[in-house]
Each structure stands twice: as structure tokens, then as C-alpha cells.
């Protein structure tokens, strides 16, 4: 157990872990929201979603400060951000019902993105 | 009478080397010689060269048995290749050489290049930012222990036509090609090394047979352990994916579900 807790010795790992927890909460509440409007689910979804987005941006900044700005990592961070912004854009344009159908898929992609961020930040 | 006296003297003279051992001299750098190259050039077989801290811009060639030791360790004793197109340290056609406690850097070839040699012991060295960290070429029965061959452009540790070597407790990580490249080398023991975060393979065996590869950690390489055109290698207890990489994401997903449930119940109390 102590060995397992040692992996939280780095700030990026803690941020990535928090990000995955919040993104999971946001994803579940988002799935509930697609069934129908609910004030509680809406608040959980928005609060967790925006906090996890802030953590994502913080992790990106820490990575670039630590490792410098390199092409491949920069493109990877930009792709992740593009997925998040696409999701926000679809949700805000609710009239685009055809795109709205696929919003849960984008939510699922973001969970996978956070899983990758957690795995990549587990210290060796 | 005279004949027997001469005989006794001759016998005593013949026995003299067995009774008195030649003691290895200690040579200090920079106290006795300003550069390590000068110290090596003026050393006799089995001498010990003790090097104080500092940055030494040199390309060493060692071709006699000797010990080269950094007194204050690799953090403060650095050998930087003066001519970048040559190896920083070359051990050439000799036996019984020991090199310990240096940082070796800046070569477009190898940090330490051991060629046609045997019984060479490399301990506690850091070979960083070279093309290859440590190369053993056509060399047998050498020992590499507790060295770090990280951040090199090519390979961390490269064995080329080298047999019967012991490579234990080393680190070959964050190299831009392979951690270990064992090429046409047989009967080596590669045990308990950390070979992580290399851009290509962790450990690559090519055309190499009867090697023992045990208890190494090869994490986050493109390929952990690659064995090609090789037979009868004993590969066991190497770690390529520790359980924590699977358990931790699952725990965090569960925590996410619990977090959702807790938030929902708190907000229900507020928005009754």
C-alpha cells in the first residue's frame, strides 16, 4: 500500500489522478444529462468538466516548462485541447442535434485521454 | 667452494621475486600529473590512478592493466571528450583495467569503448550525452556494474561480438535509440538492470545466443525486449508492465464514480 502511495510523489501525477477522477464524475453526469435536463447533474457536469479542463491545461504547461516545447508533444496536447473544445462547441450549439448525438462518444474519448495521462505520469 | 657459493647466490636471486611483491603505485591527478592522459602514460602495470574532482577535457587510451578511480564520484569528476570524433575513454587490447566513479560525456562515438580486452571492470560511471554510452567490442569476461548509460544519441550499452560479460545493476534509460543492444554476442549475463524510456527498444538481442537475461525492468520503451535471430537465451523474471499501471487507473475510475455519487447527494441536500 505504501509503495502504491509513493507514486503520488510528483505534482503532475497528482494532477493527472485528480483529472481522471473529475473527468469520470463529469462523464457520468453528462450521460445522465443526455436523458433529460436536471439542475444537479448539470452543475456536477459543468463544475467537474471545467476543473478537469483547467488541470489539463496546467499539465500541458508543466510538461512544456519541464521538457521544452517540442513538436510531437505539442501536437498531442493541442489534439487533446481540440477534443475538449469540440465537445464544448457541440454542447453549446444544442440545435445541432445531429452532432449532439455523438457527444457521449467525445466524452468517452476524453476519459481515454485522461487514462493515458495517468499512465504516462506514473513514475518509474 | 666458490662454485657452491655462486650456486647459492643464484638460487637466492631466482627466489627473490617470489618473496617480495611489487607494490602498485598510487598516482594522483592533478597533484602528481595535471592530466589523466599524462598519469596513464607514466603509469606502470597495476598502478592505481586516483583522480580528484574537476572537468577533464581529454580522450584517454588505456592499454595497460591499471585502476582509474574518481575520488569524489561522478557528480564532480567529469571526463569530457576533447576530440568529439573519438571515444572519451578507450580500453584497448589489455586486461585487468578498472574504471570507477566518473561522468563521461561529449563523444560522438562512445563514452567508454572497450576493445579486444578482458577482465575490465566498469563501476559507478555515468556515460551521458555521447553517441553510445558504453561499448564492448570483441571483449570477453568484463564486468559492468552500477553504471548509468542514459541520454545517449544511439545506444546506452552496446555489446558487439563480446562474450561472457556480466552486466548487472546498470541503468540504460532515455537513450534516443536502444537501451541495450547485444549484437553477435554470446553467453553474457544481463541481470537486474533498469532499461526505461528509450525511444526504440529496451533490450535488443540480435544474432546472440545463450545469454542470461533476468530481473531487468524495461518500462515505457517502444518495445521492451526484442530477440531476433537468436537461440537458447534464458529470459526470465523481467518486468515490462508492473501491476501498478493497471491497478491505479481502475482505482481512479472507481474514485470518480464515488466522487459523482457524493457530489450528487450533497447537491440534493442543497437543492431540495
DSSP state of B163: B
B191, pLDDT greater than 50: yes
Residues A52-109: tens digit of each pLDDT: 999 999 999 999 999 888 899 999 999 999 999 998 888 887 666 666 777 888 999 9
Does some domain include residue A66? yes
Q: What is the DSSP string of A74-88?
A: HHHHHHHHHHHHHHH
Higher-pLDDT residue of B152, A120: B152
Number of CB pairs < 8 Å for A and B?
A: 67
Q: What is the ipTM of this complex?
A: 0.90
CATH of the domain at B29: 2.160.20.10
The closest of B105, B112, B107 to B134, measured between CA atoms, is: B112
Chain A residue numbers touching B263 (CB-CB < 8 A): 25, 44, 47-48
Q: How far apart are CA B90 and CA B115, in angstroms?
A: 7
Interface test with A, best of B259, B262, B266, B270 (most A CBs within 10 A): B259
Instruction: Pick the residue from chain A with its C-alpha nearest to B252.
Output: A21
Does some domain include residue B145? yes
Does some domain include residue B221? yes
Q: How confident is the model at residue B10 (pLDDT cuts 50, 70, 90)?
A: low
Chain B residue numbers touching A119 (CB-CB < 8 A): 245, 249
Residue-range definition of the domain harbouring residue B218: 25-271
Report CB contact under 8 Å: B249, A21: no
Tally of domains within chain A: 1
The B223-228 sheet, strands edge to edge: B60-62, B89-92, B110-115, B132-137, B157-160, B180-183, B201-206, B223-228
Chain A residue numbers touching B244 (CB-CB < 8 A): 3-4, 7, 122
Q: How far apart are CA B46 and CA B44, in angstroms?
A: 6
Report CB contact under 8 Å: B252, A21: yes
Residue-range definition of the domain harbouring residue A69: 11-118
Does some domain include residue B10? no
Distance to chain A for B127, nearest Cα, Å: 20
Does some domain include residue B12? no
DSSP state of B22: P
B224, pLDDT greater than 50: yes
- What is each CA distance from B141 to A70, B58, B165, in whole angstroms? 42, 27, 5
Amino acid at each position: 500500500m505504501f509503495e502504491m502511495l509513493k507514486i503520488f510523489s510528483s505534482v503532475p501525477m497528482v494532477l493527472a489522478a485528480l483529472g481522471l477522477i473529475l473527468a469520470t464524475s463529469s462523464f457520468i453526469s453528462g450521460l445522465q444529462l443526455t436523458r433529460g435536463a436536471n439542475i444537479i447533474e448539470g452543475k456536477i457536469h459543468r463544475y467537474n468538466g471545467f476543473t478537469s479542463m483547467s488541470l489539463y491545461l496546467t499539465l500541458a504547461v508543466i510538461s512544456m516548462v519541464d521538457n521544452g516545447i517540442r513538436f510531437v508533444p505539442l501536437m498531442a496536447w493541442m489534439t487533446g485541447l481540440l477534443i475538449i473544445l469540440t465537445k464544448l462547441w457541440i454542447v453549446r450549439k444544442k440545435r445541432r442535434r445531429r452532432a449532439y448525438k455523438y457527444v457521449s462518444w467525445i466524452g468517452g474519448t476524453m476519459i481515454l485521454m485522461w487514462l493515458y495521462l495517468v499512465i504516462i505520469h506514473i513514475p518509474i | 667452494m666458490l662454485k657452491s657459493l655462486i650456486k647459492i647466490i643464484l638460487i637466492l636471486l631466482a627466489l627473490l621475486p617470489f618473496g617480495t611483491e611489487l607494490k602498485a603505485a598510487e598516482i594522483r591527478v592533478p597533484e602528481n600529473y595535471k592530466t589523466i592522459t599524462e598519469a596513464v602514460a607514466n603509469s606502470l602495470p597495476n598502478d592505481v590512478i586516483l583522480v580528484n574532482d574537476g572537468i577533464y577535457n581529454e580522450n584517454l587510451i588505456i592499454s595497460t592493466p591499471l585502476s582509474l578511480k574518481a575520488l569524489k564520484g561522478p557528480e564532480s569528476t567529469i571526463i569530457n571528450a576533447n576530440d568529439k570524433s573519438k571515444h572519451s575513454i578507450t580500453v584497448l587490447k589489455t586486461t585487468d583495467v578498472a574504471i570507477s566513479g566518473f561522468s563521461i560525456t561529449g563523444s560522438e562515438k562512445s563514452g567508454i569503448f572497450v576493445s579486444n580486452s578482458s577482465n575490465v571492470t566498469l563501476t559507478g560511471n555515468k556515460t551521458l550525452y555521447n553517441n553510445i554510452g558504453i561499448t564492448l567490442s570483441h571483449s570477453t569476461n568484463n564486468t559492468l556494474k552500477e553504471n548509468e548509460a542514459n541520454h545517449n544519441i544511439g545506444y546506452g550499452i552496446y555489446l558487439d561480438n563480446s562474450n561472457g560479460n556480466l552486466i548487472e545493476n546498470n541503468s540504460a534509460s532515455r537513450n534516443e535509440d536502444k537501451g541495450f543492444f547485444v549484437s553477435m554476442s554470446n553467453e553474457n549475463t544481463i541481470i537486474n538492470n533498469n532499461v526505461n524510456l528509450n525511444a526504440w527498444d529496451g533490450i535488443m538481442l540480435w544474432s546472440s545466443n545463450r545469454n542470461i537475461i533476468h530481473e531487468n525492468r524495461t518500462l515505457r520503451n517502444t518495445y521492451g525486449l526484442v530477440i531476433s535471430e537468436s537461440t537458447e537465451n534464458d529470459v526470465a523474471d523481467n518486468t515490462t508492465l508492473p501491476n501498478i499501471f493497471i491497478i491505479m487507473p481502475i482505482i481512479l475510475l472507481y474514485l470518480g464514480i464515488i466522487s459523482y455519487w457524493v457530489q450528487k447527494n450533497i447537491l440534493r441536500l442543497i437543492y431540495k
